[in-house]
Amino acid sequence: MIPHSKPTLDNRDCDAVLEVLQSGQITQGEYVKRFEDKLSEFIGVKGGVATNSGTSALHLALLALEAGKGDEIILPSYVCTALLNAIHYVRATPILVDIEPDSFNLDAKRVKESLTEKTKAIIVPHLFGLPADMEELQSFGIPLIEDCAQALGATYKGKQAGGFGALSIFSFYATKVIASGEGGMVLSDSPHLLERVRDLRDYDNRDNYRIRFNYKMTDLQAALGISQMEKLPSFLERRKVIAKRYSRELPNIPALLPPEYPDRKHIFYRYVIRVEGNLERLLEQIKKEGICCERPVYRPLHYYLGLSDFPETERIWSSALSIPIYPSLASGEVTEVIDRVKRLIEER
């Protein structure tokens, strides 16, 4: 079975973790600091605060902006529930908006229609590794939290995704662009916001009391994150090569392939094609042939909240098929994916 996603790990990763283990200093320490410096330097912002997940990073980013009860936070419906959870953690109100049909990202026109006096922030996921239209979203003058969980290394107009918002968050979950097992980070160019996030991450030995969290990353995770970060250029290159093969060898099937945007670098965290007909059945058929494909978003958020009128989200959800793409996917496996997916779609 070819899995849909998989971490890409090697002996250097094992050595990096072993070194920390043998040092005896296994909780948050020097490696976490080094990982924070490395990522913030790469993105081109002042600093970063590592956390134990992307969700906790989002939670702290919202708290840094002082989002709370009565505030509205805008986000797309077509995204995972981590965002909804973080908004509910701070007791703010989620305002879901529809997506653009081609980029699968937030539709800026819909965002504009949803702005009110209560809008505190907009969470902007760069879904599947393609940056959202940052210029348009920035023009509203509302603080943006860029969700780069799927977009480490993507660029918009030549600048790294994660360098546009008031804050940005990353995830290093096992199958993300780089992995630390579980893990996340908040980045910002604002020393003030970074300080707030840093203060909230850790509760121990404080002179004053406020509700704080234990959201720390361990040095074991940070060592793995640093080791993976060193391989980021080769990871991105491999994703590009696989995506190019898919785009070259799949175009004559009755499916829509990802479009290209000259001003954005897509890192192909997911390679998502759009097919007609019964998606569930197709997923089953492909699985029977030994390939695991998935709906790239399990369920749109508006379904969970009992809302309607998200036509593009529904169209995409019922037709989007994510096929395997990750650095450790071998060339022979790519050929198998192309042959079987092509045949099954053509036979429908």
Contact status, residue 224 vs residue 31, Cβ threshold 8 Å: no
| Residue 168 near ligand PLP by CB under 6 A | no
Separation of alpha carbons 59 and 33, rounded Å: 20
| Residue 173 near ligand PLP by CB under 6 A | yes
Contact status, residue 129 vs residue 242, Cβ threshold 8 Å: no
| Binder among 20, 32, 64, 82 for ligand PLP (CB under 6 A) | 82
Instruction: Read off φ and ψ for residue 165, nearest 5 degrees.
Output: -80, 170
Question: What residue has token string 């920390």?
Answer: 20
Residue 219, token pair as written in the block: 């040095």
Separation of alpha carbons 71 and 118, rounded Å: 5
Task: Write the DSSP symbol of residue 223.
Answer: H
Of the pair 53, 285, the CB lying nearest ligand PLP is at 53
Provide, rounded to whole angstroms, the least separation between the CB of residue 264 and ligand PLP.
17
How many residues touch ligand PLP under the rule CB under 6 A: the total is 14
Q: Which residue is nearest to ligand PLP (CB)?
A: 54
Scanning 48-56, 97-105, 156-164, 301-309 for contacts with ligand PLP by CB under 6 A, the matching segment is 48-56
| Residue 80 near ligand PLP by CB under 6 A | yes
Sheet of strand 264-265: strand arrangement:
159-160, 155-156, 264-265
Provide, rounded to whole angstroms, the least separation between the CB of residue 292 and ligand PLP.
17
Contact status, residue 98 vs residue 308, Cβ threshold 8 Å: no
Characterize the bridge pairing of strands 155-156 and 159-160. Answer: antiparallel
Instruction: Give kind and range of the element (H or E) at residue 122.
Output: strand 119-125
| Residue 79 near ligand PLP by CB under 6 A | yes
Scanning 27-35, 49-57, 257-265, 276-284 for contacts with ligand PLP by CB under 6 A, the matching segment is 49-57
Provide, rounded to whole angstroms, the least separation between the CB of residue 77 and ligand PLP.
13
| Residue 55 near ligand PLP by CB under 6 A | yes
Separation of alpha carbons 71 and 123, rounded Å: 13
Residue 176, token pair as written in the block: 């993300």
Provide, rounded to whole angstroms, the least separation between the CB of residue 180 and ligand PLP.
10
Contact status, residue 187 vs residue 162, Cβ threshold 8 Å: yes
Task: Write the DSSP symbol of residue 20.
Answer: H
- In sequence order, the β-bridge partners of residue 37 are none
| Residue 150 near ligand PLP by CB under 6 A | yes
Provide, rounded to whole angstroms, the least separation between the CB of residue 57 and ligand PLP.
8
Scanning 52-60, 236-244, 254-262, 317-325 for contacts with ligand PLP by CB under 6 A, the matching segment is 52-60
| Residue 77 near ligand PLP by CB under 6 A | no
Provide, rounded to whole angstroms, the least separation between the CB of residue 105 and ligand PLP.
11
Is the alpha carbon torsion for 212, 213, 214, 219 positive or negative?
Answer: negative
Of the pair 31, 170, the CB lying nearest ligand PLP is at 170
What x/- string results for residues 108 through 147 when contact with ligand PLP is judged by CB under 6 A? -----------------x---------------------x
Using CB under 6 A, list all residues that contact ligand PLP: 53-55, 79-80, 82-83, 125, 147, 149-150, 171, 173, 184
